Amino acid sequence: MHPSASAASRTGVRAPADEPVRILLVDDQPGRLLTYQAILEPLGEHLVQASSGREALRLLMQDDYALILLDVNMPDMDGFETASLIHQHPRYEKTPIIFVTAVNVTDMDRLQGYQLGAVDYVMVPVIPEILRSKVEVLVELYRKRRELQLLNASLAAQNQALQREKSRELQALNESLRLANETLASRNIELQNEVSERARAEERLRDMDQRKDVFLATLAHELRNPLAPLQNALAIRRLAAGGGIDPLHETMERQLALLVRLIDDLLDIARIAQGKLTLRPASVALADVLDSAVEIAQPLLDAGRHRFHMALPAQDVLLHADRVRLAQVFANLLNNAAKYSDPGSRIDLEARLDDTRDEVVVTVRDTGIGLAEDQIEAVFDVFRQVDTTIERAHGGLGIGLTLVEKITAMHDGRVEVESAGLGQGCTFRVCLPRQRAALAGALEASVTNAAAADTLDNVIDASRRGATRILVVDDNRDAADTLAMMVRVLGHEVAQVYDPLQVEAEVERFAPDLVFLDVGMPGRSGYDIARSLRLRRDARALGIVAVTGWGQPEDRERTRAAGFDEHLVKPPQLDAIRRLCAGAGRDADA
C-alpha cells in the first residue's frame, strides 16, 4: 500500500504523475492472481489482490483504484454482479473494468458486461503482451483523467476558449484510446489465428508421423512375404546337399539374413515410435550378452578381416536386462565399427565396472573414419548416416545407432560417443546399471521357474502334435510350394492349399495332424480358419502353426487367442520347421 497516494486522493492535492496507481485484481483462483501479478508487475503500478467479489467491494471502500481486472466466473458473487455493485457507487461509476473469462462469451453476455461498465474482455489463457498493453493504456487514461479533473478544478474561472482547447485534447486522447483498442483487437485476432494455424500444423505433423510408422511396419511385413520362398528354397538346397554347400549358397544365405535383419530394424524403429517395443528383462550374465553380440557381428568382422579383441572383467557381472535386445545393442555397435573401418583394422570390445556409479561400462573402439564435431551431435538421429559416399563397402538404413540409444535408454542406461575427428576413429560407451547380488538370486530363481514352466508347456503342446501328415496353407503359391517341398525333404507327407475357402474340405480329405497356416489371405483370414478348425470334434489332436509377416507381441497374442499352437514369423527358419516336424514324427511313432 502507498499511504501518500491514499492521502492525496482524499485531500484533493495533486499527486506526481509518475506515482504508482492502484489496480485491483479480482479472481477466486490464487494461481491466476499470481499470473496477473507476474504479467503486470513490470508496469510498476501498485497491484492489490482480492479473492472474491465481496473482498473487492470492501477494498474499494478504502482506497481509489484506476482499473479493475475482474474474473467473470466466481462462486457466491460472479463478475457481472460485482461490476453492477461497483458502478452503483458514485465514486466508481466510471472506473474501467476488464473482464477475464475462461469460456467463450455470447454477444448477450458481452452486451451485459459493457452495460455494467466493462471496457474490454480478456480470454484465458491470457496473452501477457496483450493484457499488459490494455492495462497500460487504461492506467495512462486514468492518469490523464485525474490530471484533467485537477486542472478543471483549478481552471474553472478561465475563459471558454481554454475549455474548448481542453475539450479537443480530451477528444484526441479518446480517439487515441479508440485507435489503440482497435490495434490491440486486430493484433489479438492475428495472434489467435497464428495459434490456430500452429495447432493445425502440429496436428498434421503428428498425423504424418503416425502414418509413417504404420507404413514402416506394413512395409516390413510385406517384404517378409517374398523373402519366405527365397529362404525356403535355400533351406531345401541345403537339405538336398546334405550339408556340403558351395560358397555361392553361403553368400545367398548371408545376404538374405542381412535383409531379414534390416527388416527387423525397420520394425523395431516403428515399434519404438509407437511405444510398442517391450522388453523381457531377466537376470543375465554380461559375458553371455557380449558373446551373443559377437556371434551376430562375426560375419561382418570376418568379411573385413578386422583384428578383433575383447576384454571382460575377471568376475561375473550380472545385469537385469533383455538378453536379446541388449545383444542387439552391442552387435549394432560392432557392425557399425566394422562397416566404417578399413579392412584389417583393429576393433576393441572392453567391459569394466564403475564402482563409484555402481554400473557397467562397455566400450567399443575402432580406428575407422571417425566423426566431425557436428556429426557427433546427430549420430543417433534416425535414418541419418554420417557417411553416404557410394565408395563405402557397406550400406544401411541409418537406424542401427538409433536403436542402440533407444534400447539402452529402455534399460535405464546411456550411450556416450567420442571422436578425435575425421579419420581418428570412434569410441562408443554403453553405461548400464549393475544388478545387485540379492536381486540377482531372486531373479535367477524366477527365470529358472519360468523356464521350467515353459518347457512343461512345450512338452504338453508337442504331445498334442503327433503328426506325419502336414498341410501347408498360403495364398502365395511360391511360399506354399517351397515350404511344402522343405517339409517333404524332411521326410513327411505334405499337401498344400492356396485357396483359404478350401481348407476345411482338404482337412477332411487329407486328415493332417499339423497345419502351417498363413494369417493374412484375401477373402478369408487365417484367424477365421483356425477358429473354424478348433470347432471340429478332433480339434485337440490337430496342431496349427501361424506363418505370418507380423511378429509383434500383440500379433502373437492374437494368434494364440484364435487357437494357434505356434507363431512363426516369415521367413520361417529351417530349424523351427525341423523342430516342429521332427517332434510330430516322434509323437506319431509313439
Beta bridge partner(s), residue 494: 470
Of the pLDDT bands very low, low, confident and very high (cuts 50, 70, 90), residue 255 is low
Can you tell me the distance from the alpha carbon of 297 to that of 69, in angstroms, rounded to the nearest whole number? 69
3-157 and 455-589 in the same fold: yes
Q: Which residue has the cell 502353426?
A: 545
- pLDDT given at position 353: 92
Tell me what pLDDT residue 55 has.
93
The residue-averaged pLDDT of 245-265 equals 69
Q: Does residue 352 have a pLDDT over 90?
A: yes
Q: What CATH fold (topology level) applies to the domain 3-157?
A: Rossmann fold (3.40.50)
Q: Distance between CA 318 and CA 437 in Å, rounded? A: 8
Q: What is the mean pLDDT of residues 20-28?
A: 93
Q: What is the pLDDT of residue 382?
A: 57
Dist. CA 479–CA 486, nearest whole Å = 11
Q: Which fold has domain 281-444?
A: Heat Shock Protein 90 (3.30.565)
Alpha-carbon distances, residue 546 vs 235, 397, 557, 564, 588 (angstroms): 19, 29, 12, 6, 21
**Least confident residue range of 4-8, 93-97, 307-311, 549-553:** 4-8
Average pLDDT of the residues of the chain: 79
Q: Which three cell numbers stand for residue 313?
A: 572383467
**Nearest Cα to Cα of residue 351 among 294, 311, 292:** 311
Q: What is the pLDDT of residue 117?
A: 66
**Residue 158 banded pLDDT, cuts 50, 70, 90:** confident
Domain locations along the chain: 3-157, 281-444, 455-589
What tens digit of pLDDT does each residue of 381-435 get? 655 554 444 334 444 445 778 888 888 998 999 999 998 888 888 999 999 998 7
CA 480 – CA 477 distance, rounded (Å): 5
Asked if residue 188 has pLDDT above 70, the reply is yes
| The CATH number of domain 455-589 is 3.40.190.10 | no
pLDDT tens digits, residue range 220-231? 667 777 777 777
Q: How far apart are CA 507 and CA 533, in angstroms?
A: 9
Which among 386, 367, 368 is positioned nearest to 376, based on CA atoms?
A: 386
Whether pLDDT at 104 is above 60: yes
pTM of the model: 0.44
pLDDT in tens, 492-524: 999 999 999 999 999 989 989 899 999 988 889
Q: Which residue spans within 145-290 are E strands per DSSP?
A: 282-285
pLDDT, position 448: 41
User: Does the structure show a pLDDT above 70 at 254?
Assistant: no
Q: CA geometry: angle at 160 spanning 157 and 163, to 5°?
A: 85
Report yes or no: 257 and 230 within 8 Å, Cβ to Cβ. Answer: no
pLDDT tens sequence across 433-468: 987 543 444 344 434 443 433 433 443 343 334 447
Residue from 487, 478, 455, 488 nearest 577 by CA? 487
Per cent of the chain over pLDDT 90 is 26
- Pseudo-torsion of CA 179, 181, 187, 191, nearest 10°? -170
The secondary structure of the chain in percent helix, strand, coil, rounded to multiples of 5, reads 55, 15, 30
